[in-house]
Each structure stands twice: as structure tokens, then as C-alpha cells.
Amino acid sequence: MGSLTRFVGRQLARYLAREVHVHGTAPPTPVQWLRDTLVPGDVLLIEGHSRFSTAIKYLTQSTWSHAALFVGRDALVGQDETENLCFIEADVQMGVRAVGLELFAPHHTRICRPVGLLAADRQALIQHAVAQLGRQYDLRNVIDLARYLFPTPPVPARFRRRMLSLGSGDPTKAICSTLIAQAFQAIGYPVLPEVRLMNRNDPLCPDCQDEIYMVRHHSLFAPRDFDVSPYFDIVKPTLRQGFDFHGV
């Protein structure tokens, strides 16, 4: 039975990963501009066009359906030298793999840059991500994947994010943002913590409250969280190239 469900899971994952015609919200950024702007540790958000991407964008109410961590070529020495590998991503079919920038060339993208990383922090972040290379996901739980066959399920908005983390776990972990969130949590860097207000219980200040930052479970992260996080800069290559609106 396990072999049958794995086969069905692989076929379903292949179907969900297939590109479909979708109008992007913005044109792609030239690859050379991205290459000149990216630094190791950057998170590249991608507006994907697959069936899987459509579901993630709807469930998270966001433009972004995929994320990849830029680690640079030096971190991937010993991998396929014939490819310009510089990113690590989690793919529902292939697992955790290294890919080149050209893979994202046809897509609208955004660079999110963590602020305040020391060289040692950056190195630890990259090492954690590289250590996950080759990790494969068990696709036996067909129900986990089948929910993406209905890209716009009629559920209240407050429950949509939770739908990303339902099920056995492995197909959920294949969502790219989970891999990247784990890497940042490994070095203690916040992405989008839950903030709770707690009464201070101070008789001199009965109305005072403290903000308590709670670590969000990595399975609940979505690509959009790096975009809306207060701890990541949004870096736009078009502006870095020198934009003058008089010349448009």
C-alpha cells in the first residue's frame, strides 16, 4: 500500500508543479541586475505560475508563492560545477536542492535582506541550509497534496494559513518558506514572531503591559512573511541600478 500511495503522491506532485498560464503582477527583473544585487543570506521571493503556487498565493493572500535562499557559489563548491548554482530551495518533487538564478528569470521576484547579520551569523545560516541538501520528502500522504487541487477553497481568511500546515508533515515541509524559516531560527534571527501582551503585575503600574515575542512554528511560515517582516529590508535592483524617472 505504501508503494501505491507514494506513486500516486509523486504523480499528484508532478501535476501540481506543472506551470499554468498566469498573468504576473509585474515584469521579471533582468537576471544580471539580480546577480549584481544579491548577497549571501538574501531571500528571493518568487511569484510562481504553477497550480501549487496558485493555491499558496490564495491561502496566504499574497503575490509570493515561493522563496529561495541565496548562498552564493562558494558555498556550493563540490556540487554540479557545470551549473551556476547559488540558491537553495525546497521543491515538492525534488526535495531540497541547489539551483541557479536562471531558474527564476521568467518570474517576478523580490529580494528580502536580513538586517544586522554578522559574518559568523551569515556563515552559520548558510551552513545550516547547505546541510539540508538532498533531503527528500515522503509524498505518501496523498491527502496533504490533494488539498492543493482546490486552489481557492471556501474557508474563512483566518483559517487559510493553517491549511498550509495540516496533515502528516512532509508535504508541508516541502513548502520552501519552512526550510528558510528553520535556517533563520537556527541562528536565532526573527522572521515574523507572534507578539503577545502580558500584564506586568506591577502594583506601581497596574495598567502596564510587556510585549512578549513568541517563536512561530516553522511550519506556519509562508513566503509573504519575509516580505512583511520588520526585520528584512526590501532591496529593489531597479533602484540600485540608478533610476531617474525623467528618463522614462
The CATH number given to whatever domain includes residue 242 is 3.90.1720.10
Within 90-203, where are the H helices?
119-130, 142-146, 157-163, 170-173, 176-186
CA-based nearest residue to 184, from 104, 128, 239: 128
Give me the tens of pLDDT residue by residue for the chain, a chain 248 residues long.
567 777 777 787 787 778 776 677 788 999 999 999 999 999 999 998 888 788 788 877 888 988 999 999 888 877 665 568 899 998 878 888 999 999 999 999 999 999 999 999 999 999 999 998 988 776 666 666 777 777 777 777 666 666 665 554 555 555 668 889 989 999 999 998 777 777 777 777 777 777 676 667 666 788 899 999 999 999 999 888 888 888 88
Other Cβ atoms closer than 10 A to 158: 7
pLDDT at res. 168:
47
Q: Note the pLDDT of residue 149.
A: 72
Domain count, the chain: 1
How many whole angstroms separate alpha carbon 162 and alpha carbon 164?
5
- Chain centre to alpha carbon of residue 71: 14
Q: Count CA within 13 A, CB hemisphere, residue 104.
A: 34
Strands (E), 127-240: 194-199, 209-214, 232-235
The range of the structural domain enclosing residue 10 comes to: 2-247
Nearest to 5 by CA among 134, 173, 170: 170
Residue type (1 letter), 247? G
Predicted model pTM: 0.82
What letter does residue 30 receive in the DSSP assignment?
P
